[in-house]
């Protein structure tokens, strides 16, 4: 009997996410087609299957076939950090670049209810929004002056460019309490961990959000999220480490690289390992032999190999996975607005410190250019004082008042494949200037560490991070 190849979709309008997950899971033991398996399943049978195999025996990957789309609205940007800390989910959030933010839409933590600091908090947040509102027309006038219509550019395209360059500057004033919307697509396995993290979080907003996400998601996948609960380990570990870590240290002095962007670790043989891995993949020798061949090869031969691997990539091509054998750790101190964008890169490991007002704030050049120096700094200083007062009560709570312009420390480990994607995307002219500065500075150091491979990083020609800093910042 000739078996025809079959490719088809399981329709989520006809089958629940749990039934789809069981349909796929059953192919492991059943000779039937997916259609036949699905036709014989009821939601109750699917639940029983999950109880036994996924929940009971830990065959957890089955839950990855149950996918949900969760709409989350009016949550603080601080809470969004926890939602988006899950690598295997997908997100789209309200942008600080492409829309103006509502000054009334900010989170008031219930922890402050009835407390003397509540009024102080509201005043600081309102002050930031007032400065934001006042800044928009004045910064816009500067942008219009500095960014004339380009040859061939339509009036509407120019207006869009002016609008986004204006909000790019004014967003430095937006506090972490600002309310945003985010769309999340996640499978039940990642969602379970996401909910666990939310339910174990020190902020009551995040815990309440975790409970709501659990309730909404459980209506669709009742069995798979049964044990999405508070995890004492997460909470206890965070508390014990906060105590062990002690107080924040000041910014370290500059060595060769700028103090705000330092390559703190990379393996010196990283380049050899990538080239050897590529030979290993397409050859039949052992890794030690491939490495030896690369070591014996002259510079020209290595460059030829690097050119094969990266030289002919088209603009949308993804480089070979073997680039992942080279990795880099960076310590960054970047404004919160930049961090908020960087955190969206999932193919790397990020360890951010808490959002504080301890590391100073950046001043985009267009604030003083618009005569707004005092308005900006007054609002930022008021936020800092409020942060300090709130931190005496609860350091986690205090983060809500911190605006995008304050600096934050972050440890980031990424491989060369992700560096290739990150540096290209985030150094491009349409990226925000804060992140362009980061991407260009990281690229410079990656190039010094792995010159043969990193010469192929896709970067804007003849532009360095210092030029971005000089053009866009009065102070960082």
Ligand X SMILES: Cc1cc2nc3c(=O)[nH]c(=O)nc-3n(C[C@H](O)[C@H](O)[C@H](O)COP(=O)(O)OP(=O)(O)OC[C@H]3O[C@@H](n4cnc5c(N)ncnc54)[C@H](O)[C@@H]3O)c2cc1C
- Nearest to ligand X of 272, 418 (CB atom): 418
| Segment (H or E) for 386 | helix 373-393
Asked whether position 345 contacts ligand X by CB under 6 A, the answer is yes
With respect to ligand X, which residue has the nearer C-beta, 151 or 429?
Answer: 429
Burial of 294 (0-12, 13-18, 19+ CB in 10 A): buried
Q: Indicate which single residue of 30, 95, 102, 455 sits in contact with ligand X (rule: CB under 6 A).
A: 95
Question: Residue 276 CB, nearest distance to ligand X (Å)?
Answer: 24
Between 98 and 227, whose beta carbon lies closer to ligand X?
98
DSSP β-ladder status, 363-364 and 179-187: unpaired
Contact 186, 228 (CB under 8 A): no
Q: Which of residues 363-422 bind ligand X (CB under 6 A)?
A: 418, 421
CB closer to ligand X, 19 vs 76: 76
349 binds ligand X (CB under 6 A): no
Sign of CA dihedral 207, 211, 216, 221: positive
Tokens read off for 105? 């839409």
Burial readout 141-174 (b: 16 or more C-beta within 10 A, e: otherwise): ebbeeeeeeeeeeeeeeeeebbbbbbbbbbbbbb
Considering only 298, 314, 430, 462, the residue that binds ligand X (CB under 6 A) is 430
For residues 372 and 431, which CB has a smaller minimum distance to ligand X in the complex? 431
Q: How far is the CB of 439 from ligand X (least distance, A)?
A: 10
| Closer CB to ligand X, 157 or 318, in the complex | 318
Sign of CA dihedral 330, 434, 91, 319: negative
Question: Any alpha helices (H) in 252-317, and if so which ranges?
Answer: 270-282, 287-296, 299-306
181 is an interface residue for ligand X by CB under 6 A: no
Cα distances from 278 to residues 270, 284, 380, 390, 457, in angstroms, run: 13, 11, 50, 53, 18
Is 288 or 318 the residue whose CB approaches ligand X more closely?
A: 318
Cβ contact 227:55 at 8 Å: yes
For residue 318, state whether it binds ligand X (rule: CB under 6 A): yes
Q: In whole angstroms, how close is the CB of 95 to ligand X at the nearest point?
A: 3
Q: Which is nearer to ligand X, 134 or 421 (CB)?
A: 421
Q: Who contacts 98 (Cβ-Cβ below 8 Å, separation ≥6)?
A: 163, 164, 167
CA distance 425 to 436: 9
| Sheet with strand 179-187: strands edge to edge | 67-76, 179-187, 90-93
When asked if residue 90 is in the footprint of ligand X (CB under 6 A), the reply is: yes
At closest approach, how far in Å is the CB of 417 from ligand X? 8
Considering the complex, what minimum distance in angstroms separates the CB of residue 465 from ligand X?
Answer: 17
Stretch that binds ligand X, among 52-60, 85-93, 234-242, 444-452 (CB under 6 A): 85-93
What minimum distance in Å lies between the beta carbon of 70 and ligand X? 14
Size of the site for ligand X (CB under 6 A): 16
Q: How far is the CB of 352 from ligand X (least distance, A)?
A: 15
- Exactly one of 289, 425, 463, 474 binds ligand X (CB under 6 A); which one? 425
Q: Smallest distance from the beta carbon of 26 to ligand X, in angstroms?
A: 25
| Residue 93 near ligand X by CB under 6 A | yes
Binding site for ligand X (CB under 6 A): 90-93, 95, 98, 318, 344-347, 418, 421, 425, 430-431
């Amino acid at each position: 009997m000739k078996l025809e190849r079959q490719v088809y979709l399981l329709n989520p309008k006809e089958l629940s996410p749990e039934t789809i997950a069981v349909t796929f899971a059953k192919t492991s033991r059943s000779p039937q087609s997916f259609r036949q398996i699905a036709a014989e399943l009821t939601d109750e049978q699917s639940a029983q299957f999950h109880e036994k195999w996924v929940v009971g025996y830990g065959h957890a990957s089955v839950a990855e076939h149950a996918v949900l789309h969760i709409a989350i609205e009016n949550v603080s940007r601080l809470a969004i950090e926890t939602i988006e800390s899950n690598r295997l989910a997908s997100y789209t959030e309200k942008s600080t670049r492409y829309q103006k933010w509502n000054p009334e839409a900010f989170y008031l933590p219930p922890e402050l209810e009835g407390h003397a600091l509540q009024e102080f908090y509201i005043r600081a947040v309102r002050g930031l929004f007032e400065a934001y509102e006042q800044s928009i027309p004045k910064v816009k006038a500067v942008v219009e002056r500095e960014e004339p219509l380009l040859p061939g550019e339509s009036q509407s395209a120019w207006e869009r460019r002016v609008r986004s360059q204006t909000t790019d500057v004014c967003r430095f004033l937006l506090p972490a309490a600002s309310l945003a919307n985010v769309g999340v697509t996640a499978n039940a396995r990642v969602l379970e961990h996401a909910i666990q993290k939310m339910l174990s979080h020190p902020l009551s907003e995040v815990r309440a959000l975790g409970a709501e996400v659990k309730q909404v998601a459980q209506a669709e996948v009742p069995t798979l999220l049964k044990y999405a609960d508070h995890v004492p380990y997460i909470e206890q570990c965070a508390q014990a480490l906060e105590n062990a870590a002690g107080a924040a240290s000041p910014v370290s002095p500059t060595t060769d690289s700028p103090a705000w962007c330092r390559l703190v670790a990379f393996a010196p043989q990283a380049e050899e390992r990538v080239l050897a891995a590529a030979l290993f993949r397409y050859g039949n020798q052992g890794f030690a032999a491939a490495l030896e061949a690369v070591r014996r090869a002259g510079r020209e031969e290595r460059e030829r190999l690097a050119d094969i691997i990266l030289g002919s990539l088209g603009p949308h091509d993804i480089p070979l996975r073997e680039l992942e054998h080279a990795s880099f750790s960076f310590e960054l101190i970047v404004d919160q607005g930049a961090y908020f964008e960087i955190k969206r890169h999932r193919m790397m490991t990020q360890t951010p410190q808490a959002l504080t007002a301890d590391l100073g704030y950046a001043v985009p050049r267009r604030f003083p250019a618009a005569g707004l120096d005092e308005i900006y700094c007054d609002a930022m200083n008021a936020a800092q004082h409020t942060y300090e007062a709130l931190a005496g009560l609860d350091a986690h709570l205090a983060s809500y008042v911190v605006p995008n312009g304050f600096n934050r420390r972050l440890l980031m480990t990424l491989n060369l494949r992700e560096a290739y994607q990150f540096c290209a995307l985030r150094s491009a002219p349409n990226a925000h200037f804060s992140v362009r500065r980061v991407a260009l500075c990281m690229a410079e150091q990656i190039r010094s560490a792995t010159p043969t491979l990193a010469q192929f990083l896709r970067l804007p020609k003849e532009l360095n991070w210092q030029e971005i800093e000089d053009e866009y910042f009065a102070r960082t």
